[in-house]
Structure 1
Amino acid sequence: MVPRDTDDRLNLSAGIASVSVALVLIAAKLWALFQTGALSVAATLADSALDLVMSLGALAAIAYAARPADDDHAFGHSAAEDLAALGQCLFILISAAMIAGAAAQRLASPAPAAIGAETTGIAVMGLSIALTLALVGWQRHVARSTGNRVVAADSLHYLGDLVPAIGAIGALWASRRFDLAWIDPAVAIGAALLMAQGALRIGRDAWDALMDRAVDAETVAGIEAIARGFPGVHGHHDLRTRRSGGRVFINLHIELDGSQSLTQAHDIGAALKRAILEHYPRADVIIHKDPVRPQ
C-alpha cells in the first residue's frame, strides 16, 4: 500500500503545478488580449483567471485535507476539498455568464469590433495548449496514483480549457484570413457554455459528497461481492458508504458464528477489512460484527 505521506506529496505537487501554469497563462493571455482585442482570447483569459482562483483553493484544500485526524475531526479533514470544489463552481458560473453577455452584445452590434495582431494571439494560444497538455498529463498521473478527486477534477477542468483555446485559434485565423469578425464572439459563447457545463458537474459532485450521498452503485456492488461468501462470514447488512474528498468511508455489519471466540471473530473481521482495502486502498473501513447461529 502506498504511504499516505507519499500521496500527500504527489497531490501537493499537482496543486503547485496547477497554480504555476495558471499564473504563466494569465500573463501571456493578458498581453495577447491587449494586442488582439479578441473576445475569444478574453474568454480563455477569464477561464485562466478562474483556474488560478480554483487552483489556489484546491491547493489550500489539498494541504488542509492532508492533515491527520484529530479530536475535533475524527474522520479527518477531507471535506475541505468538496467545499473548495463547490466554491469553484460558483466562480465559473458567474464568469461564464459575463463572457456570454459580452459576446452576445458584440454579435448584436451592427459594426463588429475589429480584431488585430492575430498572429500574436495564435502564438499565445499555442503556448496555452502546450502548457495545459503538460499539466493535464502530470495531474492524471497523480490522480491515478493517489485517487485524489480534487486533482482529477482539476485535470478535467484544464482538459476542458483546450476546447476554447483551440476555438480561439480558429477564430483568430478566420478573422485574419476571411475577415469573419462574428466567429470570435460565437467561439466565446461556446466557451462560456462549456465552462458552465463543467461548473455544474463539479458542483453536483461536491454537493453529493457534502450531503453524504452513497458512492456509485458499482463500488457498492464490489464491496458486497467481497463480503458475500468471505470465509467465516455468514451474511452482511447495513452497508453504508459516503465519499469525502478523495476518500471513501465504508461502514459494514457482518454476521459471524456466535459460538466462536472473540479472537476468531476479530481475525475474520480484520481479514475482510484487508480484502476490501486491497480493492479500495484509500477507503476508511469500519466493520461491526453481529453474532448469529449458523443453520
Structure 2
Amino acid sequence: MQDAERNRLNLSAGAFSVAVALVLVLAKLWALGQTQALSVAASLADSALDLMVSLGGLAAMAYATRPPDEDHAFGHSSAEDLAALGQALFILAASGVIGWAAVERLLSPEPPPITAEGRGMAVMALSILLTLALIAWQRHVARRTGSRVVRADMLHYAGDLLPNVGALVSLWASATLGLKHVDSVVALGAAMMLAVGAIGIGKGAWDALMDRAAPPEVIAGIERIVAGFPGVRGWHDLKTRTAGSRVFVNIHIELDGDQSLEEAHAIGAALRRAILKAYPQADVIIHKDPVGVTPHPDDPARG
C-alpha cells in the first residue's frame, strides 16, 4: 500500500471517529437530562472523552503523515504513539471517576430516581448502532494500515459497546422491574473494563516510544525471507523497532565478494522489495558484507 493511501485511510477513520463521538455526546447529554441515570452519565463521560481523544488522535495522524524532513529523518510516525499513550491516560482517569461515582451510589440507601427510561433506551440503541458502524470501518483501516492510533481508538469503541448495552439493560430493568441499583452495577463494570483496556493501550504505546523490537512473528517472517533469498549467503545484525504504524528494519546480508557492485546492489534491492511486499509498513535498510569477511577490531560488536 502506498503511503498516500495509508494516510487517507487513517485520516478517514479519525474523522469518522470524531463525527460519531460528537453525535453521541449531544445525544447522551440530552438523555442524561431526561433520565438522571448514572449508567447514562458514565456513557456520556466516556463519549465526551472519546471526542477529546479522537480529536487528538486525528491531529496526531495528520501530523504523522508529514514526510521526513531535516529534523525528522525517519518521519513523524511516533506522534501516533504519543497520542495513543495520552488516550490511555485519559481513559484510565475517566474509569476512576466513573467507578467512584458508581460505588457511592451503590452504598447510598436511597439511590436517585431514574426517569424517562424509554427515551434513554432509544438514545443508547442509537449509540450502539453508530459504534458498531465505526468499529467496522476502524477494523478495516487498522488491518490495511497497521495504525496504532486507529487500533487504540477501535479497541476503545469496542469497549464502549458493553457499557452502552449495559446502560440499555439498566434502563429497561428500572422501567419494567424497578431495579434501581442495576444502573450503578453496570457503571462500575464499565469503569473496570475501561481501566483494563487503557492499561493495554498504554503498554503498547509505551513499548513503541521506548524503541521496542517488532513483534516476534514479524522478526521471524523477515528472517525466513532473508534466509531463503537467492544470492544471500548469510545474514546478521537484524534490528527492528516500531514507531506508530511503521516498522524500521536494519539488517546486514553476506554476499559473494567476487561479484560486481551492480550485482550485489541488485540482490539487496530485490531483497528489500521482498520484505516490503510482505510488510508494506516497513522501512528497510540493508547493508552488504562480503561473505566470510573478518570484522575490523575497531568495528562495534555484532548485536
TM, length-normalised to structure 1: 0.97
* C-alpha separation in 2, matches of 1:181 and 1:258: 79
**Alpha carbons 1:255, 1:292 under 8 Å: kept:** yes
Moved over 6 A (4+): none
* C-alpha separation in 2, matches of 1:202 and 1:293: 44
* C-alpha separation in 2, matches of 1:254 and 1:100: 54
- 1:27 is matched with 26
Superposition deviation, residue 229 in structure 1: 2.2
Quick check: 1:256 aligned with 2:255? yes
- 1:141 is matched with 140
* C-alpha separation in 1, matches of 2:9 and 2:212: 27
* C-alpha separation in 2, matches of 1:146 and 1:87: 21
- 2:279 is matched with 280
Secondary structure in structure 2 of the residue aligned to 1:263? helix
**Alpha carbons 1:259, 1:293 under 8 Å: kept:** no
- 2:270 is matched with 271
* C-alpha separation in 1, matches of 2:218 and 2:209: 18
**Alpha carbons 1:257, 1:293 under 8 Å: kept:** no
* Unaligned residue ranges in structure 1 (runs of 5+): none
**Alpha carbons 2:252, 2:286 under 8 Å: kept:** yes
Cα RMSD over matched residues? 1.1
Secondary structure in structure 1 of the residue aligned to 2:138? helix
Question: Aligned ranges for residues 187-226 of structure 1 at < 5 Å?
Answer: 187-226=186-225
What does the per-residue CA deviation read over 1:78-130, in whole Å, with 9 as the maximum and x for residues that have no partner? Answer: 00000011111111111110110011000001112211111011000000001
What does the per-residue CA deviation read over 1:130-150, in whole Å, with 9 as the maximum and x for residues that have no partner? Answer: 111111112122222222221
Superposition deviation, residue 159 in structure 1: 1.3
**Alpha carbons 2:81, 2:148 under 8 Å: kept:** no
Superposition deviation, residue 3 in structure 1: 2.4
- 1:103 is matched with 102
**Alpha carbons 2:234, 2:291 under 8 Å: kept:** no
Secondary structure in structure 2 of the residue aligned to 1:258? coil
* Unaligned residue ranges in structure 2 (runs of 5+): 294-303
* C-alpha separation in 2, matches of 1:121 and 1:242: 47
* C-alpha separation in 1, matches of 2:113 and 2:292: 83
Secondary structure in structure 1 of the residue aligned to 2:253? strand
* C-alpha separation in 2, matches of 1:190 and 1:15: 27
- 1:161 is matched with 160
**Alpha carbons 1:147, 1:282 under 8 Å: kept:** yes
Superposition deviation, residue 293 in structure 1: 4.1
Superposition deviation, residue 155 in structure 1: 1.4
Secondary structure in structure 1 of the residue aligned to 2:259? coil
Secondary structure in structure 1 of the residue aligned to 2:230? coil
Secondary structure in structure 1 of the residue aligned to 2:280? coil
- 2:238 is matched with 239
- 2:174 is matched with 175
Superposition deviation, residue 237 in structure 1: 1.0
Secondary structure in structure 1 of the residue aligned to 2:170? helix
* C-alpha separation in 1, matches of 2:261 and 2:19: 54
- 2:297 is matched with none
Which residue identity does 1:237 align to in structure 2? H
Which residue identity does 2:222 align to in structure 1? I
- 1:68 is matched with 67
Secondary structure in structure 2 of the residue aligned to 1:242? strand
Question: Aligned ranges for residues 120-139 of structure 1 at < 5 Å?
Answer: 120-139=119-138
* C-alpha separation in 2, matches of 1:82 and 1:138: 21
What does the per-residue CA deviation read over 1:158-209, in whole Å, with 9 as the maximum and x for residues that have no partner? Answer: 1111110000011111111111111111100000011111111110000000
* C-alpha separation in 1, matches of 2:8 and 2:226: 33
- 2:300 is matched with none
**Alpha carbons 2:105, 2:111 under 8 Å: kept:** yes
What does the per-residue CA deviation read over 1:225-264, in whole Å, with 9 as the maximum and x for residues that have no partner? Answer: 0000211111111111111111111111111111111111
